[in-house]
Amino acid sequence: MTPLPDVMLEPLVRAGLLEDLGCGGDLTTDALAKPGQVLHTALVARQPGVVAGLALARLAFTLMDPSVRFEIERPDGGAVAPGERIARVAGPAPAILGGERVALNFLSHLCGIATATAGIVRAVAGTKARVCCTRKTLPGMRAIQKYAVRAGGGANHRFRLDDAILIKDNHIALAGGDVAHALAAARARAGHLVSIELEVDTLDQLAQALRAGGADAFLLDNMTPEMLREAVAMVDGRAVTEASGGITPESAPAIAATGVDILSVGWLTHTVRALDIGLDHEIGA
């Protein structure tokens, strides 16, 4: 897959390096490395997973020293098994060891997101449902976390509040509890390219919204598979249907089987477990 451009990633990596180097730099490496010493290393998976975040890992080393060589063996979006090399990294010892932790932090986190996403995607294989992330991302890291979801075979929900109109329960309260009024007000404000999605948590709300018209998609929140199946039948292809709320790899197949278009999974970016990856010295390289 096409990586994000370096101009988007460099500020994040540079901030991570500055945080880690502090005011005095890498005291340990400065004390032990010989002048001009070169290291040959490899980023190696300790667990099975899906790769994401190689551009950030590369920048963590090359911002320390542009002479570092970074050779990818498993690209973003590719599967990796325990013990397999993801990339080879060679260059001056201060650059390799000074950038190691920042590189691993980004790479392990994003590989964890891609791996978790791929697990849900596999669970719903054979259905039309797409696995989608949300805006429940770490501040400043939304672009790269959503990139990792795509690397795992998932899709992205809106990136920002100005991407689309999503009317949730608090917005309906602003409209006095009137779903029809909320939809009409949103449609009057929306540009011709702006989609409108309405969150509903009961079939009665969905029926009201369908009578009112104006929604391009419905977020079906915390509904049982039986309710979801009925909701899909009610919508009957007139809008996109999105299931949300507590979706896990175990519950995803039954939810996808109801015929919904999208499974919205917030924990892919806010509670994911990092993939275990190490930077190993290659003896004799």
Spot the catalytic one: 76, 199, 242, 261. 199
Per the listing, tokens 């590989």 go with 111
- The verdict on whether 146 is a catalytic residue reads no
Contact between 198 and 168 (Cβ < 8 Å): no
Sign of CA dihedral 148, 150, 156, 162: positive
Catalytic residue among 14, 101, 122, 158: 101
First to last CA, the chain: 29
Inter-residue contact 166 to 197 (CB < 8 Å): yes
128 catalytic per annotation: no
Q: Which of 6, 20, 221, 276 is catalytic?
A: 221
Please classify residue 170 by burial: count the beta carbons closer than 10 Å to its beta carbon, then call 0-12 exposed, 13-18 middle and 19+ buried.
exposed
**Type of residue numbered 156:** N
**Annotation says 221 is catalytic:** yes
Please pick, among 85, 88, 136, 187, the residue that the annotation labels catalytic: 136
Among candidates 152, 157, 64, which has minimal Cα distance to 114? 152
101 is catalytic: yes
**C-alpha–C-alpha distance, residues 204 and 227, integer Å:** 11
Catalytic residue among 168, 216, 229, 276: 168
According to DSSP, residue 155 is labeled B
For the question of residue 199 being annotated catalytic, the response is: yes
Active site residues: 101, 136, 168, 199, 221
